[in-house]
Amino acid sequence: SKPAQRIAISGAAGQIAYSLLFRIANGDLLGKDQPVILQLLDLPQAQAAVKGVVMELEDCAFGLLQDIIITDDPKIAFKDADFVLLVGARPRSKGMERKDLLSANAEIFTVQGRALNEVASRNVKILVVGNPANTNAYIAMKSAPDLPQKNFTSMMRLDHNRALSQLAAQSGQSITDIEKIIVWGNHSPTMYPDFRFATVNGASLTQMINDETWNREVFMPTVAKRGTAVIEARGLSSAASAANAAIDHMRDWVLGSNGRWVTMGVPSNGAYGIPKELLYGFPVTTANGEYTLVSDLEIDAFSRERMDLALQELLEEQNGVKHLLG
Ligand code: NDP
């Protein structure tokens, strides 16, 4: 059988990981013929909880799960890792200012970036889920100068999937027939879900829906506020859907999107007026383990305004942590 792939996951005791780990061990990420080794990272005070999750993983008797490592040391967790999902992040606590949240996470992702730089596989594929995801990914990337920048990505896929599902419901079309949607920008309320180019079996979805008021007053806010709506209904933040999006993101990156557009947060190459290196949600296609930007799309005045709003927010986030990057 194939040699095992090493998959490191931070925040392993958390909610999202509780959905994610079982699906990875089941082969949902890399395929049903690919053995995996899980390298689980969490804080010292979360180690007992991680052990509980590991007991449950053992009790599933997954045939593909070759080994599990538990640690609170990023250099052990990331050692020779082929894939890294950075899920753990410092949540906003009561009375905490945005600036303090950013600094607390900047510290975590600086340490983790340095550890990745030192010990991870040189081909490692990294996805940052923990918020603020785009800025956390930027910090990790800047802290890992020996790794290719293109290996650092952030999760915009849940926003993409949420948009897709809303569009399918509104148009009465099936999810699998809808292609070419995008969520530009930041995983935050400034995100810009854009279906101007979307098609259903080649026909224009915009023409089918033909309702700009719905787009601006229902669709865009529904997608942007979906996380809050789930928290209100469930009393807890979305976890299974976030884990599912992380799997979609990684699986498409590794196994290819077969020509379909998917949204990934990736370091900008300067396209669409987004400054180089900034981690921003872009449309990409994936093949042979690489992603390729969908370029030269027309950006109208409304889209430019929305894309710049997300850009401004990201620039503020990234300027707020610059001094920590040395
Ligand atoms: P979750 O597993 O629910 O969430 C983890 C992170 O994912 C949060 O930053 C969360 O952001 C983010 N996230 C991104 N997209 C979504 C989405 N669509 N819906 C919900 N969350 C999203 O958090 P838990 O508190 O349950 O678990 C976090 C774990 O991380 C804990 O076990 C903690 O000990 C660990 N941790 C580990 C660190 C490390 O390994 N060094 C550092 C810090 C924490 P948001 O906060 O905005 O919801």
What is the per-residue pLDDT for 320? Answer: 86
Q: What average pLDDT score do residues 139-153 get?
A: 98
Q: In this structure, are residues 112 and 124 in contact, taking their beta carbons and an 8 Å threshold?
A: no
Is 237 close to ligand 1, i.e. is its CB under 6 Å away?
Answer: yes
pLDDT given at position 194: 98
- Kindly state the average pLDDT of the residues 218-246: 96
SS (H, E, C) the chain: CCCCEEEEEECCCCHHHHHHHHHHHCCCCCCCCCCEEEEEECCHHHHHHHHHHHHHHHHHCCCCEEEEEEECCHHHHCCCCCEEEECCCCCCCCCCCHHHHHHHHHHHHHHHHHHHHHHCCCCCEEEECCCCHHHHHHHHHHCCCCCCHHHEEECCHHHHHHHHHHHHHHHCCCHHHEECCEEEECCCCCCEEECCCCEECCEEHHHHHCCHHHHHHHHHHHHHCHHHHHHHHHCCCCCHHHHHHHHHHHHHHHHCCCCCCEEEEEECCCHHHCCCCCEEEEEEEEECCEEEECCCCCCCHHHHHHHHHHHHHHHHHHHHHHHHHC
Interface pTM, i.e. ipTM: 0.91
Q: Is the CB of 136 under 6 A from ligand 1?
A: no
Answer whether 178 contacts ligand 1 (Cβ < 6 A).
no
CA of residue 130 to ligand 1 center, whole Å: 5
Q: How far apart are CA 40 and CA 20, in angstroms?
A: 12
Which atom in ligand 1 lies closest to the alpha carbon of residue 92?
46
Q: What is the mean pLDDT of the chain?
A: 96
* Shortest-distance Cα residue to atom 28 of ligand 1: 14
Residues near 142 by beta carbon (within 8 Å), at least 6 away in sequence: 113, 277, 325
pLDDT band for position 129 (cuts 50, 70, 90):
very high
The per-residue pLDDT for 227 is 93
Residues 148, 107 contacting (CB under 8 angstroms) = no
Can you give the pTM of this predicted structure?
0.96
pLDDT band for 325, please (50, 70, 90 cuts): confident
pLDDT of residue 323: 83
Residue with tokens 């599912």: 244
Q: Residue 144 above 70 pLDDT?
A: yes
Q: What are the pLDDT digits (tens) for 41-95? A: 999 999 999 999 999 999 999 999 999 999 999 999 999 999 999 999 998 888 7
8 ligand 1 Cβ < 6 A: no
Distance 17 CA to ligand 1 centre (A): 9
Residue 326 pLDDT > 70, yes or no?
Answer: no
pLDDT score of 97: 81
- Determine if ligand 1 sits within 6 Å of the CB of residue 131: yes
Pocket test for ligand 1, best of 21, 47, 54, 131 (most atoms within 8 A of CB): 131
pLDDT of residue 101: 87
Catalytic amino acids? 187
State which ligand 1 atom lies nearest to the alpha carbon of 13: 32
Q: Summarize the confidence of residues 198-223 as an average pLDDT.
A: 97
Whole-number Å distance, alpha carbon 52 to ligand 1 midpoint, is 18
Q: Check if the beta carbon of residue 319 is closer than 8 Å to that of residue 99.
A: no
pLDDT tier for residue 293 given thresholds of 50, 70 and 90: very high
**Range scoring the smallest mean pLDDT among 33-42, 87-96, 193-202, 307-316:** 87-96
On whether the CB atoms of residues 177 and 202 are closer than 8 A, the answer is no
Residue of 72, 129, 234 to test ligand 1 pocket, by largest number of atoms within 8 Å of CB: 129
Average of per-residue pLDDT across 241-270: 98
Q: Say yes or no to pLDDT of 128 above 90.
A: yes
